[in-house]
Amino acid sequence: MYPFVRSLGKHRATGPATDLVPAQEQAQKHYEDVDVAIVMESTYPYLKGGVSAVVHDIVTGNPDLSYGIIHIAWDSSQPMEDLYGMPENVKWVRVIFLSMQEHRHDFMSVRPKDLNMNSAQRARLSNRLFDALYALSEHRDTEPLWELIDEGLNERTREYPLWAILGSQEFMHALTERMPQLGMSLSESFWTLRGFFSLAYAVLGETMPKARVYHAHTTGYAALLGAAAARDHGTSFLLTEHNLYVRDTVNTLLDRNMALSITSQDYRTFDVSPEHRAGWLGGSRWGTSATPALKWSPTSTPPQSPRPPSSRGHRQVRGAAQRHDH
């Protein structure tokens, strides 16, 4: 496994407990194995709403099962007060921060030299990365990306820091050749992809606590994290939806009626910025096709749930197409 070993300069990654940043504090806590890890995007137990109420019903209605909550937040300034009084069978809350600024100690600290590759190897890796992105966007083939995740992102298996390739001359050359359709300057393309991969690192770069089942409540970051955690631990993944995540996000972006449908090809024709187009293409495709999943309709009764979910009060974390920290 690739370790984070840094000099004593400004990128130092470790230190006394008092020097730990919030993301490090979360990662170093002890989390016992649980029956179910519920993966939430900025809702339970720190924000009230329909989705949070459903999750609270699930954990209180099944006292024979042990639960953990994986709570995805934008940054450490978000609310962190338990508003529900979680029952004893909720053993822990593991908070994941998406903002690049919360990962200065790991994502932002590496350089191309940390790959330990020569120029030809960096060029091959850059082209593999673009091959994987096109396999996902054009053919819904996720396997090339999972291979790169195992090699360069997954904390348990990575052999090198994949994100270090972003600062290399070879990656910038490949970017100009492989993605001219973005219609952005080289600088804009770089920052867009850096933002995309910072989000991928935040979701996929750390080992999650072990659960027999990972239950995600949206198809965005939560589904990707849940699918990856289940794959990592060899357990199961369940996805339930309280609304149509990608449709609602895109219609909000376009200021359209929320009931209007979208298709997988609409990103090619809608009048949106290249940055939004790239974020929609990468984030939504990856999140919805990350793994085969057991799904149920919002009109049916969910497994282990006292009542069908409500979409009221559903608040989502800010997405790649909405905000980047540079």
Domain-by-domain residue ranges, the chain?
Answer: 34-101+202-296, 111-191
Cα 190 to Cα 238: distance, rounded to the nearest angstrom = 34
Please answer whether residues 298 and 242 qualify as being in contact, where contact means their C-beta atoms are separated by less than 8 angstroms.
Answer: yes
> What pLDDT was estimated at residue 218?
85
Please answer whether residues 206 and 4 qualify as being in contact, where contact means their C-beta atoms are separated by less than 8 angstroms.
Answer: no
Please answer whether residues 163 and 103 qualify as being in contact, where contact means their C-beta atoms are separated by less than 8 angstroms.
Answer: no
Say how far residue 296 (Cα) sits from the centre of its chain.
Answer: 22
pTM of the model: 0.79
142, two tokens? 């996720």
Mean pLDDT, consecutive 10-residue stretches, the chain (326 aa), reads 43 46 93 97 93 96 98 95 97 96 90 97 97 88 94 96 96 91 81 89 96 92 94 94 74 83 70 62 52 38 32 35 33
> What pLDDT was estimated at residue 199?
92
Q: Domain 34-101+202-296, CATH 3.10.150 — does that match?
A: no
> What pLDDT was estimated at residue 140?
84
Distances (CA, A) of 113 to 136, 201, 212: 28, 19, 39
* DSSP alpha helix (H) spans, the chain: 22-28, 50-61, 119-139, 143-152, 169-178, 186-204, 221-233, 245-254, 274-279, 285-288
